[in-house]
Amino acid sequence: MKIGKVELESNILLAPMAGVTDKAFRMIVKPFGPALMYTEMVSGKGLFYKSKKTADLLTADESEKPVAVQIFGHDADIMAEIANSALEYGAAVIDINMGCPAPKIVNNGDGCALMKSPETAAKVISAVCRAVDVPVTVKFRAGWDDKRINAVEFAKIAEQSGASAVTVHGRTREQFYSGTADLDIIKAVKAAVKIPVIGNGDIIDGGSAAHMLEYTCCDGIMVGRAAEGNPWIFKEISAYLKDGTVLPLPDLDERREVALKHLGLLVEFKGEHRGVLEGRKHMAWYFKGVSGGAVLRTALNKAQKYDEMCGLINEFCDFKLNKLI
C-alpha cells in the first residue's frame, strides 16, 4: 500500500488511540507487523504553546518507523505550524483527526465537530498540506448522526484539499463506539474518491479484516481497540489474508512475556508511579478472557509498585499453568 510517497509493507495499520498508542505500546506492537502506526492524537494548541506533555506524545523510537503523527484542532494557521513542527520528531505521515467523538474535543470545535463545518475542515486540510512535504491523511466518521451522514462529501473535500488518503470509521459521532460500523458508508467513500481509503471499525480478527477489504474494496484496514492487550492480532490478520490460516491464540506464557515487557517499557519511559498507573489497564487487557482474570485485574488496580505488579502477574500465571500440569 502507498500513501503519497510513503510505500508501506502491507495494508494493515494501527489506529491512533488517546491514552493507548504511546511509545511503549507502539514498540510492543511493531514486531507483530503493522505497516504504519499512529501516535496518540496531539493537540495543535498544546504543541503550538510548547507543552512538554504534548511534545512527549510525539517521541518515537527508531524501531517504530514509519510513524504517523495525528494532530487535532480547528485553527488552520496553528495546525499548519504544528504539523511542520511534528516533522522534527520524524513523522512520515501527518494525520488530521476529524472523527474523535469525545465531548471535550467536539465542544471545542475539534475532532468530529469539523464534519459539521466542512468549510473549516477544508481550510485546515489545505493549510496542513501546504505546510509539510510528507503525505497528509484525514480520519473521520460516517457523519455526526443518522440525519447527517456526509462521509462521501467529506472525503471529496479532503481529496480536493490535498489529502493523500482518508480513513473512515463506519460509525457516527452520536454512536461513539456502540452498535456496528456501517461498511456501506466506507464502500461509498471508496467509490467516490481516487485517493486510498482505509476502513476502520469492528476489525477484530482475520475474518472481519478480510470482510472489510472484500465488501468495501478499501485499500487498507486500521485496527483499533482490538489491539488493546492483543498485539498478536496483526499476525493473525496477516496470516488470514495471505491464505486463510487461522493462527492459535497466544498461550499464557506468551501473554505474560509480552505484558511484562510492556509494563517495563511504561516504567522506563514514564517513571514508576505513572508507569504503574497507566499499566493497570494494559495488564488487564492482556489477561482479559482468561479464567480468573477478573481477580487479577482487581489486584492489579491496587498495586502501587512495579515489582508488586510483576509479582501479581507471575503468581497468577504460575498458578494457572501449574493447574494445567
pLDDT at 59: 83
pLDDT at 250: 96
- Single out the catalytic residue among 100, 112, 129, 310: 100
Strands of 67-149 (E only): list them.
67-72, 93-98, 136-143
- Looking at domain 2-243, what is its CATH homologous superfamily? Aldolase class I (3.20.20.70)
Q: Indicate the pLDDT class of residue 223, thresholds 50, 70 and 90.
A: very high
Stretch 135-163: mean pLDDT, rounded? 98
> Is the pLDDT at 309 greater than 60, yes or no?
yes
> Could you say which of 3.90.1200, 1.10.150, 1.10.1200, 3.30.70 is the CATH number of the domain covering 252-324?
1.10.1200
Q: Hey, what long-range contacts does 99-106 have (CB within 8 A, 24 or more apart)?
A: 99/139, 99/140, 99/141, 99/167, 99/169, 99/173, 100/18, 100/41, 100/72, 101/141, 101/173, 101/175, 101/176, 102/18, 105/72, 106/173
Q: Indicate the pLDDT class of residue 324, thresholds 50, 70 and 90.
A: low
- Break the chain into its structural domains and give their ranges: 2-243, 252-324
- What's the predicted TM-score (pTM) here? 0.94
Q: What is the mean pLDDT of the chain?
A: 95
DSSP state of 249: P
Task: Choose the weakest-confidence range: 24-38, 51-65, 125-139.
Answer: 51-65
> Is the pLDDT at 68 greater than 80, yes or no?
yes
Q: Is 129 one of the annotated active-site residues of the chain?
A: no
Which residue's C-alpha cell is 488511540?
Answer: 17
